[in-house]
């Protein structure tokens, strides 16, 4: 009897685990633009964006990859810098303070790469937070191309703000989460 | 021909007609109904409902030149082949979860693109005019496939 109960319990736990593992949560890419009386709200499943991006074809875009023609773009160097950043601890890597009061800061916090730009003269603030996994995915593959499709796939595993721009008159917010409405 | 044979022939004919009518109706309704409502201030509203199957048939019969001309008119021209993109977008929209995808609001205008369980909905509203387009998802998928294949 005891064996039977234990067996039933194990089976229930296993089936529950399998259900949880199989349940994939859809992630949505949200964009909000507020500019005076104008409001733009975009909510798109990340998977939809990735599927469409994969199909888009142009001179500089092929199978979800953006071909960078800039000769100065060295992907191996960027990858090496990123790897070094991943292995290092949290902290600020770059800080630029301009004469007009503008400040640029690049730092790492846990698994996120954060870029803050404050332009006091123009009352503009830009906050960018990109998961390092997304940047890595973007640099995945061969040749001088950025893998946008892979980056979007990686973004589908992420929750949180990506870009916030506030210039006093208008605000732009881009973020990813599991809710369709984008709370 | 005896009276009984005549009656049998007549019944058979009616049954065949009902079957053909049913099959045609089934085919027409299988892809849902595409509907368009347009209202302009001071004018009676215009409502058009077309079975999606008819639109599919119309697209199939559309000459390649007309498709290219439509692409040019919509700005999708040049070396970029837009058809696979439209095909993928239609398929992905039909498959993705329902919700409100785009909402643009200004002081007096509103544009909303959303999806419910069966339709893709486009609404454009302004004080003078309003437009409501409803595309069945089954048709949307086939439109995409047809455009991508041409």
The ipTM is: 0.72
3-state secondary structure of B22: helix
Query: In the prediction, which pLDDT does A19 show?
Result: 36
Q: Is the pLDDT of residue A2 over 70?
A: no
Query: In the prediction, which pLDDT does A6 show?
Result: 44
pLDDT in tens, A148-172: 889 888 988 888 899 999 998 899 9
Q: Is the pLDDT of residue A18 over 70?
A: no
Provide the domain count of chain B.
2
Query: In the prediction, which pLDDT does A38 show?
Result: 93
Q: Which of A13-22, A123-132, A162-171, B81-90 has the lowest mean pLDDT?
A: A13-22
Set of chain B residues whose Cβ sits within 8 Å of the Cβ of A26: 96-97
Query: In the prediction, which pLDDT does B95 show?
Result: 87
pLDDT-based confidence at A42, cuts 50/70/90? Answer: very high
Centre a 10 Å sphere on the Cβ of residue B56 and count the other Cβ atoms it contains: 19
Same domain, B47 and B12: no
**How many CB pairs below 8 Å do chains A and B form together?**
61
With a pLDDT cut of 70, the percent of chain B lying above it is 90
Query: In the prediction, which pLDDT does B81 show?
Result: 67
pLDDT-based confidence at A5, cuts 50/70/90? Answer: very low
pLDDT-based confidence at B6, cuts 50/70/90? Answer: confident
Same domain, B19 and B73: no
Nearest to B105 among A38, A51, A54 (CB): A38
Same domain, B9 and B47: no
Contact between residue B27 and residue B53 where contact means Cβ atoms under 8 Å apart: yes
Same domain, B101 and B114: yes
Query: In the prediction, which pLDDT does B7 show?
Result: 86
Set of chain A residues whose Cβ sits within 8 Å of the Cβ of B114: none
Residue A3 inside a domain? The answer is no
Domain region containing A102: 26-177
**Residue A47 tokens, joined:** 């998977």
pLDDT in tens, A53-103: 888 887 788 888 888 776 666 777 777 877 787 778 888 888 999 888 889
Same domain, B24 and B88: no
The Cα A112–Cα A89 span in angstroms is 12
Mutate to test the interface with B, among A34, A38, A48, A183 (most CBs of B within 10 A): A48
Domain region containing B53: 31-149
Same domain, B14 and B88: no
Contact between residue A175 and residue A182 where contact means Cβ atoms under 8 Å apart: yes
The Cα B68–Cα B90 span in angstroms is 19
| CA closest to A33 among chain B residues | B104
Query: In the prediction, which pLDDT does A156 show?
Result: 86
The number of residues in chain B equals: 150
CA distance B127 to chain A (A): 16
| Half-sphere exposure (Cβ direction) of A37: Cα atoms closer than 13 Å | 5
Pick the more confident residue, B43 or B103: B103
Q: Which of A67-76, B70-79, B113-122 has the lowest mean pLDDT?
A: B70-79
Pick the more confident residue, A32 or A65: A32
Nearest to B92 among A41, A51, A58 (CB): A51
Same domain, B3 and B54: no
Query: In the prediction, which pLDDT does A16 show?
Result: 39
Question: CA triplet B20, B23, B27: central angle to 5 degrees?
Answer: 140
- The pTM (predicted TM-score) of the whole model is 0.75
Query: In the prediction, which pLDDT does A126 show?
Result: 95
Same domain, B48 and B113: yes
B85 touches chain A (CB under 8 A): yes
The Cα A108–Cα A83 span in angstroms is 12
């Amino acid at each position: 009897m005891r064996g039977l109960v234990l067996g039933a319990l194990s089976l229930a736990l296993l089936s529950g685990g399998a259900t949880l593992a199989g349940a994939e949560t859809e992630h949505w890419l949200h964009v909000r633009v507020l500019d005076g009386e104008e409001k733009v709200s975009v909510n798109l499943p990340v998977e939809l964006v990735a599927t469409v991006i994969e199909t888009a074809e142009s001179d500089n875009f092929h199978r979800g990859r953006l071909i960078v023609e800039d000769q100065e773009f060295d992907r191996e160097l960027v990858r090496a810098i990123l790897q070094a950043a991943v292995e290092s601890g949290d902290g600020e890597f770059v800080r630029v303070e301009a004469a007009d009061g503008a400040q640029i800061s690049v730092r790492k916090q846990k698994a996120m790469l954060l870029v803050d730009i404050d332009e006091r003269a123009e009352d503009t603030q830009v906050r960018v937070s990109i998961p390092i996994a997304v940047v890595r995915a973007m640099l995945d593959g061969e040749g001088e191309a950025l893998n946008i499709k892979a980056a979007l796939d990686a973004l589908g595993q992420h929750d949180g703000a990506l870009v916030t721009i506030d210039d006093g008159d208008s605000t732009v917010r881009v973020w990813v989460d599991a809710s369709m409405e984008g709370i | 021909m005896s009276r009984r044979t005549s009656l049998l022939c007549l019944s058979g004919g009616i049954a065949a007609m009902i079957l053909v009518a049913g099959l045609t109706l089934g085919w027409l309704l299988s892809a849902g109904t595409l509907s368009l409502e347009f209202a302009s201030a001071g004018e009676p509203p215009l409502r058009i409902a077309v079975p999606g199957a008819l639109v599919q048939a119309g697209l199939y019969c559309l000459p390649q030149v007309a498709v290219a001309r439509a692409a040019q008119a919509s700005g999708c021209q040049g070396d970029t082949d837009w058809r696979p993109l439209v095909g993928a977008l239609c398929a992905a929209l039909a498959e993705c979860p329902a919700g409100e995808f785009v909402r643009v609001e200004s002081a007096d205008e509103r544009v909303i693109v959303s999806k419910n369980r069966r339709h893709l909905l486009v609404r454009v509203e302004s004080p003078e005019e309003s437009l409501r387009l409803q595309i069945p998802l089954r048709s949307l998928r086939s439109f995409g496939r047809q455009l991508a294949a041409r």
